Amino acid sequence: MDCGPSSNSPATASACGACWRQSSTVSPRSSGKTAAGSSSRSASRASKARSEVIEKSDKALLRRYHEEGDLAAREQLIEQYMSLVRSLARRYSYRGEQFEDLVQIGAIGLIKAIDRFDLERGVELTTYATPNIIGEIKRHFRDRGWSVRVPRG
């Protein structure tokens, strides 16, 4: 069978798989970059820029709450970080408690984290809040669990 340029159709692909594979690779004129590769980099840059903007607005809200006692800023921070609480509560939803209850308990941990957060330390709120939220959820399981532990053996 002829493996010329006119035979690079799907019908001849079964007869000459090497030619078909060769024609479906990156052409020599293309740069080798795919649209997905360049779009993932631009998405990464956009994500980074977006997180920097969010971080600056969060710092402004935290500063307003801690310095001026602005409760509206505190409420706004709580609403912004409830998705973090939900994702952390989802980790523990298989332990027999209702998911909504775990979200409420995690929200208590978030509120405590916002109240105790120190802007001068130079860490993000999520870095500080995550262990507080998890700790509050674990404390709930510890306090509401069985007081007598059954031995393993």
34 Ramachandran zone, left/alpha/beta (phi>0; psi -120 to 50): beta
Identify the pLDDT of residue 49.
61
Residues 6+ apart with CB under 8 A from 73: 61, 62, 64, 65
What separation in angstroms does the CA of 98 have from each of 69, 95, 107? 33, 9, 14
Task: Choose among 10, 27, 14, 15: nearest CA to 2.
Answer: 15
Q: Which residue has the higher pLDDT, 16 or 105?
A: 105
Domains of the chain: 36-144 (1.10.1740.10)
Q: What is the pLDDT of residues 30-74, one digit of tens each?
A: 444 445 555 667 667 765 665 565 567 888 999 999 999 999 999
DSSP H or E segment with residue 74: helix 71-80
